[in-house]
Amino acid sequence: MKLLFATSELAPWVKTGGLGDVSAALPVALRAAGIDARILLPAYPALKAAFPDAPLVASIPPPGPQLYGAALRAARTPEGVPLYLLECDAWFDRPGNPYLGPEGRDWLDNGKRFGLLSRVAALLAGETSPLDWRPDVLHCNDWQTGLAPAFLHYLPHGRQAPSVMTIHNLAFQGIHGRDLLPELGLPESAWSIDGIEYYGYLSFLKGGIQHADAITTVSPSYAREIQTDHDGMGMGGLLRHRGDRLSGILNGIDTAQWNPAADPHLAAAYDGKHLAAKAKNTAALRAEMGLADAPQMPLFGLVSRLTNQKGVDLVAAIAEELAELPAQLVLLGNGELELEKTFRALAAQRPHQFGVRIGFDEGLAHRIEAGADIFLMPSRFEPCGLNQMYSLHYGTPPIVRATGGLADTVIDDSDHAHGNGFVFSDATPEALLATVRRAVATWHNRKAWQALQKRGMQADFSWTAPARQYLALYQSLIQTQ
Ligand code: ADP
Ligand code: GLC
C-alpha cells in the first residue's frame, strides 16, 4: 500500500506544536507496518538547508496567469521516510514560523500558500500526477491541506486515491475571503453550503470535512466532543452530518525521541526501575532555571503554547497559592503576548520559585518533562495532547482537565489500581488548585507516588497501535472504492 501524507509541519525542521511531532513519527510507524508512506510538505528554508542536494523530480505549471508554478524535490529523512518537498520560493522561502510573519500575525497570503500545497497534494493523488509513484490513499492533516479533498472532488482527473482528513485542532479552520476561490482555480460550483462556503467565507477545513472519504481526529473523546454544538466550533452540525465517516484515533508518541533512558538532552538517564536518577534531572533543572535548590518542595512543570486553549491562565491565577504550598514552577512556552507578560512578571516576583522561559526550546522541553515532579496541562480543550503522554512516559504524573485526549490518557489517582495522574473537570482556578493540593499530598507519600509514576511509565503510548488503526482505515477505503 502506498500512502501520501500531506502536512505543513515536520519535526525537527518545522514544528509549532504536536502536528510536527505526529508528521515525523506516524509515517515511520506506518512504514514499519509495511506501508510505503511518503510525506509531502513545503520546502521551507529549514528543509532546503537540511537537504541542499534534493533532486528535482517534477515541475508543476501555474494553474492560472496570477499564480506561481512549483517544483517537487525528493529527499529522505534519516529514518528513511521519502519526502516530496514542494518548492515555491515566493510562498515558502520565509524564515521562522510557517504561518506567521515577523510581527506574529498570519501571513496575508496564507490562503494562496496552503492552497498550493492542497492543490499539489490532490494532483499527486490523481491520474495526471507528474510522478511515477501514485498513492493508494491521500492523508491530509489540518486546514493547511484541507482543500485537497475539495480539489479532488471539483477538479477530478480520472482515477484518484481516496482521501482521509485528520483534524488535529478544530480551532484552526483556514478561513479566507471569497476572492480566493478563482485564484485557487476552483470552480464557482464549489461555493455552496455543501461545498467550501462557510458563513460567507471560504473554509479550507470545511472543504476537507465535506469531501474527504474518511475524517479522523486525534482522540476518541475529541471525536465525540466536536460533534456537539457546544464544542464543535461552528462545525458541530456538519461533523454530525458526516458522523458515519468520522472516528477518533489516539496519537502515539515517538519513543525514540522521547525516552528517559536514552535522551541526549538530559543530565541523567533513568527508567521505571531506576527512578532515583530522576532526581538528578530535577536538581539540574532547578539550577538551569535559577531556582532555589529546594528538594523538599514539589517542582511543577509546564510546556505549552501560551493560548486560551491550554488553560495556562488558570495556572497564573493560582500562582500565589502554589508558591505558598510551598512549591516551585518551571514554565516554557510562547504565544499570546499578555500571557507571556503575566508569566514573566511572576518569575520576576519570585525568581527562586518560578522559572519562566519564553520561547521555543526542544531541549528544555525534554528537561522539564524529566526534571519536574508534576506536569500541568489544564487545557480548556485538547484534541489529543502529546505532553501529558511524554510526562507519563517520563515518570512525571500530569494534572489534566478531563477533555479530549487528556481524558483518554490520564486516569485519576483516586483509582488506586490504574491511576496515573490527576484529573479535574471545571476550568476554574479553584478546581485546579484543589487538584494541585491533592497531587502535592500524594507526592509527599513517597510510596504512593512511585506507584503512580510506575503505572504511567509502564503504559504503551507508542505509535504501533495507532498505526495499525490507520492501516485498517486505509484498507477499508481502498476496498469500498
Ligand atoms: P499542541 O499541538 O496543541 O501545541 P501537543 O501537546 O500535541 O499540543 O504538542 C505540543 C508539542 O510542542 C510538544 O512536543 C511540546 O513539547 C512542544 N512544545 C510546545 N511549546 C513548546 C516550547 N515553547 N518549546 C519547545 N517545545 C514546545
Ligand atoms: C493539535 C492539538 C493537540 C494534538 C496535536 C497533534 O495541535 O492541539 O491536542 O496533540 O494537534 O495531533
Which numbered atom of ligand 1 lies nearest the CA of 169? 3
Rounded percentage of the chain residues whose pLDDT exceeds 90: 95
pLDDT confidence bin for 66, thresholds 50/70/90 = low
What's the CATH code of the domain at 229? 3.40.50.2000
Which numbered atom of ligand 1 lies nearest the CA of 359? 23
Q: Above 90 in pLDDT, residue 329?
A: yes
210 and 281 inside one domain: no
251 touches ligand 1 (CB under 6 Å): no
452 and 468 inside one domain: no
Q: Among 98-102, 351-355, 466-470, where is mean pLDDT lowest?
A: 98-102
450 and 469 inside one domain: no
Mean pLDDT, residues 51-65 taken together: 90
Residue 195, phi then psi, degrees to nearest 5: -120, -125
239 and 372 inside one domain: no
Residue (of 116, 88, 87, 110) closest to 98 by Cα position: 110
Which residue bears the cell 497501535? 465
pLDDT in tens, 197-248: 999 999 999 999 999 999 999 999 999 999 999 999 999 999 999 999 999 9
Atom 6, ligand 2: residue with shortest CA distance: 18
**Grid coordinates in use for 317?**
491565577
- From first CA to last CA, the distance across the chain in angstroms is 14
391 and 292 inside one domain: yes
pLDDT in tens, 283-294: 999 999 999 999
Number of domains in the chain: 2
Please, are residues 439 and 301 in contact by the beta-carbon 8 Å criterion?
Answer: no
**Grid coordinates in use for 377?**
496541562
Q: Above 90 in pLDDT, residue 63?
A: no
In a domain, residue 388? The reply is: yes
pLDDT confidence bin for 413, thresholds 50/70/90 = very high
Dihedral angle computed from the Cα positions of residues 459, 461, 462 and 463, in that order, rounded to the nearest 10 degrees: 140
Q: Residue 281 C-alpha to ligand 1 middle, in angstroms? A: 20
Residue (of 423, 428, 281, 297) closest to 354 by Cα position: 297
Per the structure, the complete domain to which residue 426 belongs is given by 275-458
248 and 155 inside one domain: yes
368 touches ligand 1 (CB under 6 Å): no
Mean pLDDT, residues 132-151 taken together: 98
In a domain, residue 364? The reply is: yes
Distance between CA atoms of residues 251 and 109, nearest Å: 31
Amino acid identity of residue 166, one-letter, is T
| The pLDDT of residue 62 | 83
Atom 12, ligand 1: residue with shortest CA distance: 17
245 and 283 inside one domain: no
In a domain, residue 259? The reply is: no
Specify the 3-state DSSP secondary structure of 74: strand
Task: Tell me, yes or no, if the pTM score tops 0.95.
Answer: yes
Atom 10, ligand 2: residue with shortest CA distance: 385
Q: Among 93-97, 307-311, 372-376, where is mean pLDDT lowest?
A: 93-97
In a domain, residue 263? The reply is: no
311 and 343 inside one domain: yes
350 and 330 inside one domain: yes
448 and 472 inside one domain: no
**Grid coordinates in use for 327?**
512549591
60 and 116 inside one domain: yes
| The pLDDT of residue 382 | 98
In a domain, residue 350? The reply is: yes
Q: Above 80 in pLDDT, residue 67?
A: no
472 and 369 inside one domain: no
